[in-house]
Amino acid sequence: MKQKLDAIDRKILALLQARSDLPINELAEAVHLTPTPCWRRIQRLKEMGIIAQQVALLDRQKVNVGVTVFVSVRTRDHDLPWLDKFRTAVQSIAEVVEAYRMSGDVDYLLKVVVPDIAAYDLVYKQLIQQVPLADVSSSFAMEELKFTTAVPLSYAT
């Protein structure tokens, strides 16, 4: 049976998306609960799989990966063995932080973070060495206008 999210659950999720290390006492106060019921709600949200994991977000500039590259990939192969090989390759390259199978003209879209163009060239060579590709197009981000890991909660039921 699917449990519904109420306004307090959504408020807890919004606060945790903004700062997952918020002490339980502060979180409980912000949602007008005592700590124990608030903690129980968080545990339930984890058990439901709504809270998938809690992580630390790093300043990419301070860890020297301030260059973001969006890589569009096209392939001639559209079978499962090729996809498995591509997935394995992408997952083995630490600089690839996001990867998507797309609809439309581009088959796959990768988000890569590196310190500079030379480092991206090494990533590119790593990728093409592991799996055959028909076309690779790279776009370097000039400016980050918005970055968030928070998802909108207005659709949560």
User: Would you say residue 76 lies in a domain?
Assistant: yes
Please give the average per-residue pLDDT across 47-70, as a whole number.
96
Banded model confidence at residue 29, pLDDT cuts 50, 70, 90: very high
Residues 105, 133, single domain; the answer is yes
Please give the average per-residue pLDDT across 34-48, as a whole number.
97
**What CATH number should be reported for the domain holding residue 28?**
1.10.10.10
Going through the chain in order, the beta strands assigned E by DSSP cover 67-74, 96-101, 108-114, 135-140
How many distinct structural domains can be found in the chain? 2
- Name 108's bridge partners: 73, 101
Residues 74, 36, single domain; the answer is no
Q: What pLDDT is attached to residue 2? A: 67
Residues 77, 135, single domain; the answer is yes
Whether 43 has a pLDDT exceeding 80, the answer reads yes
Residues 71, 134, single domain; the answer is yes
**What CATH number should be reported for the domain holding residue 75?**
3.30.70.920
Q: What pLDDT is attached to residue 3? A: 76
User: Would you say residue 152 lies in a domain?
Assistant: no
Please give the average per-residue pLDDT across 132-138, as a whole number.
97
Residue range 94-119, pLDDT digits in tens: 999 999 999 999 999 999 999 999 99
Residues 32, 79, single domain; the answer is no
Query: What is the bridge-based pairing of β-strands 135-140 and 67-74?
Result: antiparallel
What is the rounded CA–CA span in Å between residue 7 and residue 10? Answer: 5
Q: What pLDDT is attached to residue 1? A: 55
Q: What pLDDT is attached to residue 125? A: 97
Q: For residue 111, what are the CA distances in angstroms to 3, 8, 134, 150? A: 34, 34, 18, 18
Which residues, other chains included, contact 37 with Cβ-Cβ below 8 Å and sequence gap of 6+? 28
The 10 Å Cβ neighbour count of residue 19 is: 10
Residues 38, 101, single domain; the answer is no
Residues 42, 74, single domain; the answer is no
User: Would you say residue 135 lies in a domain?
Assistant: yes
Range of the domain at 103: 67-140
Q: What pLDDT is attached to residue 34? A: 97
Please give the average per-residue pLDDT across 142-151, as a whole number.
96
